[in-house]
Amino acid sequence: NNYKSKIRKMQYNPDPYNQYNPNQQNPPYDEFMGGSGHSFSEIKIRHAFIRKTYSIVSLQLLITLAITAVLVFVESAKSFFYANQWILWLAMIGTFIIMIMLACCESINRSYPINMILLMVFTVLESILIGCISAQYKTDTIFIALGVTAVVVIALTIFAFQTKIDFTGFGIYLFVFALILMLFGLVAIILRSNLLHILYAAFGAGLFSMYLIFDTQLMIGGKHKYSISPEDYIFAALNIYVDIINLFLLILRLVSAAKD
């Protein structure tokens, strides 16, 4: 699962409900902070949304780390999934269906607790796939890739919050590059060239780094052209989690290729 088709549910920001009303009690944010013109109540809602999203993503990553550790270090668990590969096929189909449901069906995406249950099922299924892939690599390679991914994710997140460059308008370009990555991957599989696999992993890592910045800024809102509604915290968490997971897998490939 080294790529994903992005199906965006973005709203133009700011929307009519986020405009400053002179009759409301709270003054505009930029009157005090040089901000984007949103009221203090809107800023509070957005901050709560960001905290909730990152809390969910943290839970997802902990689940993935735990399941991956079991599949990497417990030989019997690894052997079970390798002997029953139909489970992996079901996991791939399940993650695809749930991703489409959460991305396309607003009634499901915003319905608690169904949305959270589906997201957790998606996380467990995805974690099984990640664990089986990771188990094919050496332990030290996995730890190096994990450390590099953590540093890259933290750096990109800080950059997304601090930069004045608005990446939220680049969605169509990122989608085109995702299609190119998909075709590139098919060519690399057919030709079985080690150099092509390295180039694929490097290109993919760069692309999902951009996607992480893009999805982070959609979540932040503020002065950015587009944003995700605070009601879509499950969708926001899904995006960021998939970005991080794909980034890890691609970095894992690069580290393995560099060591070989």
With a cut of 80, say whether residue 32 has pLDDT above it. no
- Check residue 39 and give its pLDDT: 52
Higher pLDDT, 112 or 56: 56
Beta carbons of 178 and 4 less than 8 angstroms apart: yes
| SS3 call for 9 | coil
What are the beta bridge partners of residue 28?
39
Q: Compute CA 241 distance to the chain's CA centroid, rounded to the nearest angstrom.
A: 3
Residue 19's pLDDT is: 43
Average pLDDT value for the chain: 82
pLDDT digits (tens, 9 = 90+) for 73-111: 988 888 898 888 888 999 999 999 999 999 888 888 888
**Which band of pLDDT confidence, cut at 50, 70 and 90, is reported for residue 16?**
very low
Would you state the pLDDT for residue 40? 52
Q: How many CB atoms lie within 10 A of CB 116?
A: 15
Q: Report the distance separating Cα 229 and Cα 239, nearest Å.
A: 14
> In b/e form, how buried is each residue of 67-96, taking b as 16+ CB within 10 angstroms?
bbebbbeeeebbeebeeeeeebeebeebbe
Spatial separation of the C-alpha atoms in residues 107 and 33, rounded to whole Å: 36
Q: Looking up tokens 């390295």, which residue turns up?
A: 198
Would the pTM count as exceeding 0.85? Answer: no
Residue 230 neighbours by CB under 8 Å, 6+ apart: 45, 46, 48, 49
Distance of CA 31 to the CA centre of its chain: 34
Q: How many CA atoms within 13 Å lie on the side-chain side of 130?
A: 31
Query: Beta-carbon neighbour count of residue 216 at 10 Å?
Result: 26
